[in-house]
Chain A
């Protein structure tokens, strides 16, 4: 489904923007958010098919943000990104229902496959 909307949440702007370029090139809609609060606001206004979210962020981490987003959208498809497996948070993310855990540096090809899979 190429008109799926994807939200990328990462406090690392370059990371988010470059990923959004790739996704857009591949035909998806892609939007970036710098932190959890911005992400929640965006979710309020727009529907996203997939959310790709960094676990460790300032002010509000990925898991917290996920919980908040779930209140607005009960079943979001969430990919959690992590620079390194912080076990507790990863476990929590899984418990919350994360679709997959992605390790940075991102394997883009694998990510694109997973996105396709998730949309079906």
Chain B
């Protein structure tokens, strides 16, 4: 089975090429469509998730710790409060403290900012006096609205509080006092700090005026120097909160681009902001992209490598099997040559042996010829038949022996013309065959073994005659090539030799005749080669055959 054409690729290589092309197309599609699409989807997913976080935190905080606002308003509207019955007020406050949770304490001050009543059993000295210059008190009367003060960091206590102040109005609408409270934000902060976020993402809690209440990026507890400015109201994400928006957007701060998601806590108007630098988001999608390319790479390279290895294996196997076949054919050739040589030896031996009994036969025939005094016609014929048979046998023996052991040529100066004339004279050439000898006197002599050369030309002429059973023409001519070769051509107008047989003609045992060993032409070639010459053949069916024998001329020194 041929796995590879002489100039082609094996099927695995073709498959590999196809694979490369297909993968190439897939990769291009991925580059321009699929990967960007996946990246966008991923980015969208990340952003959605961030929005979800904001929403979740917002929901969690919706009623937590900020319920106090409602309660405060409720308390402030109670008739008991309006009557400024101090005992009554204390009782109410104490009850409310326990329910609300997260509120540190709250207390009532009168319109001149004197402490009136409180849920506290121990009053800090700070609260014992009136502090009309304290803006937190003053403002409550001036604003006339619920007032939140910026969170204050109490270093000594290690906590962050909010102050809240709600004006208490009389029946006529006159502000007669304020319900003030301190709200502890620690658990809020704890929650935010404990929220599991991916690296780079921050959660910030801001109030409706843009004051940072808590942030995962600022460890408010760690502040040693004192409170930072927690007013982030100029930040776009904070502005978004203050404007009451839920959503996501990109913004820049100090040269860094961020993606922020905001969600308003319904109960308080505070906002949850979840923020991630866009670089971090992109890093994540980039990671995904790299992963996709890695997969692509593996999908591309691994099968390709396998195909290449496989292809190589096939080629190697093919080469190996070709080598094996070549070796086999060489071995076969060698075996054939050995067999041929052995056969040649055998034939030679047989022929050799045959000569002895043949000699006895020939002698006997001769004797009968001289011993029978008056042979009748039949006896004469019989003796003639004997002689012919003996001659024919000797020819066969000569051919075989000549081929198996041609012997070194005994070179002499030879006139080919004479040799050819002799051959023509003694060969049985039919009358309907004309022989034209165009060898003039200027044809040079050659150095050759006359017997071997004669035998060689004899075979050729015999061939020519046999090729023209219905008559024809034999033309013999010569030419000199390169001043080195005498080319003698013997041309007949016979049946011609088919092309496929032309290179077999000189092979031993090749014959198209019914009789004959098939050694004649082989022997001719052997003899011509032995003189240092060469022989070639040209033939066309129906037109004839030309044998050209080249013999080396003496090179004059």
The interface of chain A, by Cβ under 8 A from chain B, is 10, 12, 14-15, 17-19, 21-22, 25-26, 83-85, 87, 104-106, 108
Indicate if the CB atoms of B356 and A15 lie closer than 8 Å: yes
Indicate if the CB atoms of B367 and A84 lie closer than 8 Å: no
Indicate if the CB atoms of B363 and A19 lie closer than 8 Å: yes
The CA of A14 and the CA of B357, in the complex, are separated in Å by 7
Tell me how far the C-beta of A31 lies from the nearest C-beta in chain B, rounded to whole angstroms. Answer: 16
The CA of A15 and the CA of B371, in the complex, are separated in Å by 17
The residues of A that contact B394 with a CB separation of less than 8 Å are 105
The residues of A that contact B362 with a CB separation of less than 8 Å are 105-106, 108
CB < 8 Å: which of A15, A25, A26 contacts B359? A15
Q: A12-B357, A15-B359, A18-B360 are in contact. Are A83 and B352 (CB under 8 A)?
A: yes
The CA of A21 and the CA of B366, in the complex, are separated in Å by 10
Tell me how far the C-beta of A26 lies from the nearest C-beta in chain B, rounded to whole angstroms. Answer: 8
19 A-B residue pairings within 8 Å (CB atoms): A15-B357, A15-B360, A17-B360, A18-B364, A19-B363, A21-B364, A21-B371, A22-B363, A22-B366, A22-B367, A22-B370, A25-B371, A83-B355, A84-B405, A104-B355, A104-B356, A105-B394, A106-B359, A106-B362
The CA of A47 and the CA of B277, in the complex, are separated in Å by 137
The residues of A that contact B356 with a CB separation of less than 8 Å are 10, 12, 15, 83, 104
Indicate if the CB atoms of B358 and A18 lie closer than 8 Å: no
Tell me how far the C-beta of A99 lies from the nearest C-beta in chain B, rounded to whole angstroms. Answer: 19
Indicate if the CB atoms of B359 and A104 lie closer than 8 Å: yes
Pairs A-B, 4 closest by C-beta atoms? A14-B360, A18-B363, A83-B355, A15-B360
The residues of B that contact A12 with a CB separation of less than 8 Å are 356-357, 359-360
Which residues of B, 353-380, contact A by the 8 Å Cβ criterion? 353, 355-360, 362-364, 366-367, 370-371
CB < 8 Å: which of B355, B363, B364 contacts A84? B355
The residues of B that contact A19 with a CB separation of less than 8 Å are 363
CB < 8 Å: which of B358, B370, B371 contacts A104? B358
Tell me how far the C-beta of A117 lies from the nearest C-beta in chain B, rounded to whole angstroms. Answer: 19
- The residue in chain A whose Cβ has the minimal distance to the Cβ of B360 is A14
B200 at the interface (CB under 8 A from A): no
Indicate if the CB atoms of A106 and B352 lie closer than 8 Å: no
Indicate if the CB atoms of A15 and B363 lie closer than 8 Å: yes
- The residue in chain A whose Cβ has the minimal distance to the Cβ of B359 is A104
The residues of B that contact A22 with a CB separation of less than 8 Å are 363, 366-367, 370
Which residues of B, 379-401, contact A by the 8 Å Cβ criterion? 390, 394, 401
Tell me how far the C-beta of A42 lies from the nearest C-beta in chain B, rounded to whole angstroms. Answer: 20
Tell me how far the C-beta of B222 lies from the nearest C-beta in chain A, rounded to whole angstroms. Answer: 120
Q: A19-B363, A105-B394, A108-B363 are in contact. Are A84 and B370 (CB under 8 A)?
A: no
B407 at the interface (CB under 8 A from A): yes
Interface size on B, residues (CB 8 A): 21
The CA of A108 and the CA of B358, in the complex, are separated in Å by 13
| Interface core residue of A84, A85, A87, A106 (most chain B CB under 10 Å) | A84
The residues of B that contact A15 with a CB separation of less than 8 Å are 356-357, 359-360, 363
12 extra A-B contacts, CB within 8 A, seeds A12-B357, A18-B364, A21-B371: A12-B356, A15-B356, A15-B359, A18-B367, A22-B370, A83-B355, A83-B356, A84-B355, A84-B401, A104-B358, A104-B359, A105-B358
Indicate if the CB atoms of A21 and B367 lie closer than 8 Å: yes
The residues of A that contact B366 with a CB separation of less than 8 Å are 18, 22, 108
| Interface core residue of A26, A104, A106 (most chain B CB under 10 Å) | A104
- The residue in chain A whose Cβ has the minimal distance to the Cβ of B366 is A108
Indicate if the CB atoms of A85 and B367 lie closer than 8 Å: no
Tell me how far the C-beta of A120 lies from the nearest C-beta in chain B, rounded to whole angstroms. Answer: 23
Tell me how far the C-beta of A44 lies from the nearest C-beta in chain B, rounded to whole angstroms. Answer: 27
- The digit string for B338-360, where 1 denotes a CB below 8 A from any CB of A, is 00000000000001110111111
- The digit string for B43-84, where 1 denotes a CB below 8 A from any CB of A, is 000000000000000000000000000000000000000000
The CA of A85 and the CA of B405, in the complex, are separated in Å by 10
- The residue in chain A whose Cβ has the minimal distance to the Cβ of B404 is A84
- The residue in chain B whose Cβ has the minimal distance to the Cβ of A107 is B362
- The residue in chain B whose Cβ has the minimal distance to the Cβ of A83 is B355
The residues of B that contact A18 with a CB separation of less than 8 Å are 360, 363-364, 366-367
The residues of A that contact B358 with a CB separation of less than 8 Å are 104-105
- The residue in chain A whose Cβ has the minimal distance to the Cβ of B405 is A84
The CA of A104 and the CA of B357, in the complex, are separated in Å by 10
The residues of B that contact A84 with a CB separation of less than 8 Å are 351-352, 355, 401, 405
Which residues of B, 283-319, contact A by the 8 Å Cβ criterion? none
Tell me how far the C-beta of B369 lies from the nearest C-beta in chain A, rounded to whole angstroms. Answer: 9
- The residue in chain A whose Cβ has the minimal distance to the Cβ of B408 is A87
The residues of B that contact A10 with a CB separation of less than 8 Å are 356
- The residue in chain B whose Cβ has the minimal distance to the Cβ of A25 is B370
Indicate if the CB atoms of B355 and A105 lie closer than 8 Å: yes
Q: A18-B367, A25-B367 are in contact. Are A105 and B352 (CB under 8 A)?
A: no
The residues of B that contact A14 with a CB separation of less than 8 Å are 357, 360, 364
The residues of A that contact B371 with a CB separation of less than 8 Å are 21, 25
The CA of A27 and the CA of B370, in the complex, are separated in Å by 12
Tell me how far the C-beta of A18 lies from the nearest C-beta in chain B, rounded to whole angstroms. Answer: 4
The CA of A21 and the CA of B353, in the complex, are separated in Å by 23
The CA of A7 and the CA of B362, in the complex, are separated in Å by 19
The CA of A17 and the CA of B405, in the complex, are separated in Å by 30
The residues of A that contact B407 with a CB separation of less than 8 Å are 85, 87
Q: A83-B352, A84-B352 are in contact. Are A105 and B359 (CB under 8 A)?
A: yes
The CA of A22 and the CA of B371, in the complex, are separated in Å by 8
The residues of A that contact B370 with a CB separation of less than 8 Å are 22, 25-26
The CA of A27 and the CA of B318, in the complex, are separated in Å by 80
The residues of A that contact B401 with a CB separation of less than 8 Å are 84
